[in-house]
């Protein structure tokens, strides 16, 4: 028999505006303590150097974390020209310098090369595993770290301005697995100089944005009263790109028990919906999310069942 988790069964998402200096794990721990939540996770790590949107999953929302991590992200950041560092950000030691400072015109001309599908090598100070060890642990131990290149998607790369000759501000919209530190390093190299990230902020992570976020300080002030829960977003917020299917109560019970539901009856109520094999959907009973499901061989089959009650 599984041991009951300590804490309250809270289900939903919080978009936390992470402050500078805290790790994602530290934010998760503080949210867990403040809300006395039984189960908490996050949808995409932010380094202590970075600020911005850190989606926090509570309870059954943890079953949808992968959909947030796979979603698009928006970053605003600053590159410091003329200094390369060991970590590709301001926390590392300076490893190389250059007197070359790119003009705005040169920067703008270089950006299209870094848009679309591009190949990048992650920073050696990253959480990627090499022979079972984290790359940053190997790098800190002084070992030579060689990481394979990967293909990532950059939807847009915009120069916002240059406050002085040593710095330039940017905004990037990108897909899963993109390392902004690598992007800064490689752009500097393409411009004939070196550079590193001096400021980094995530402005959006999938459907979680600055508009629906709450600061950790505000959450602290609200304490364990009902206040923090007013900022709770529904579990299905993470599934905004997945179509919803309305089920009857008997169909919902069947799906929640792990059994498939025939497409024929549901399709008659959704004449515009796609029931092609492989289609993912969120199965709903009223306003309650029953399960993440997949259409296969004429059936709606549960992928992740949600243990929720109607509010």
47 is catalytic: yes
Question: ∠ CA 46-185-153 to the nearest 5 degrees?
Answer: 65
pLDDT at 310: 58
Closest CA to 205 of 83, 46, 61: 46
How far apart (Å, rounded) are the C-alpha atoms in residues 269 and 292?
19
Query: What's the predicted TM-score (pTM) here?
Result: 0.89
Q: Domains of the chain (ranges plus CATH)?
A: 12-71+207-238 (3.30.2350.10), 73-201 (3.30.2350.10), 242-305 (2.30.130.10)
pLDDT band at 157 (very low <50, low <70, confident <90, very high): very high
pLDDT at 1: 47
Cα–Cα separations (whole angstroms), residue 1 to 4, 37, 123, 268, 309: 9, 21, 43, 41, 22
Those residues whose C-beta lies under 8 Å from the C-beta of residue 6, and which sit 6 or more positions away, are 38
Q: What's the pLDDT tens digit per position in 240-260?
A: 889 898 999 999 999 999 999
Q: Which of 47, 88, 89, 186 is catalytic?
A: 47
How far apart (Å, rounded) are the C-alpha atoms in residues 129 and 125?
11
């Amino acid at each position: 028999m599984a041991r009951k988790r300590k804490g309250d069964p809270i289900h939903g998402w919080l978009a936390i505006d992470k402050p500078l200096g805290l790790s994602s794990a530290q934010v998760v721990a503080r949210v867990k303590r403040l809300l006395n939540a039984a189960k908490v996770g996050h949808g995409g790590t932010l380094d202590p150097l970075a600020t911005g949107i850190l989606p926090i999953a509570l309870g059954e929302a943890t079953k949808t974390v992968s959909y947030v991590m796979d979603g698009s992200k928006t970053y605003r950041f600053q590159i410091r020209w003329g200094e390369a560092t060991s970590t590709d950000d301001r926390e590392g030691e300076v490893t190389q310098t250059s007197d070359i400072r790119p003009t705005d015109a040169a920067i703008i001309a270089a950006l299209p090369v870094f848009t679309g599908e591009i190949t990048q090598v992650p920073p050696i100070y990253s959480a990627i595993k090499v022979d079972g060890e984290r790359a940053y642990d190997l790098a800190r131990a002084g070992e030579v770290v060689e990481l394979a290149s990967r293909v990532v998607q950059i939807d847009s790369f915009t120069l916002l301005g240059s406050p002085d000759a040593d710095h330039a501000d940017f905004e990037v919209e990108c897909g899963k697995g993109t390392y902004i530190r690598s992007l800064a390093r490689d752009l500097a190299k393409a411009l004939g100089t070196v550079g590193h990230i001096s400021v980094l902020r995530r402005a959006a992570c999938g459907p979680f944005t600055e508009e629906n976020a709450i600061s950790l300080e505000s959450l602290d002030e609200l304490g364990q009263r009902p206040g923090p829960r007013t900022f709770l977003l529904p579990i299905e917020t993470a599934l905004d790109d997945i179509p919803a299917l309305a089920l009857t109560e008997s169909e919902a019970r069947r799906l929640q028990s792990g059994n498939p539901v025939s497409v024929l009856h549901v399709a008659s109520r959704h004449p515009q919906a796609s029931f092609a094999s492989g289609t993912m959907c969120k199965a709903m009973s009223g306003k309650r999310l029953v399960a993440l499901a997949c259409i296969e061989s004429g059936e709606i089959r549960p992928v992740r069942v949600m243990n929720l009650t109607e509010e």
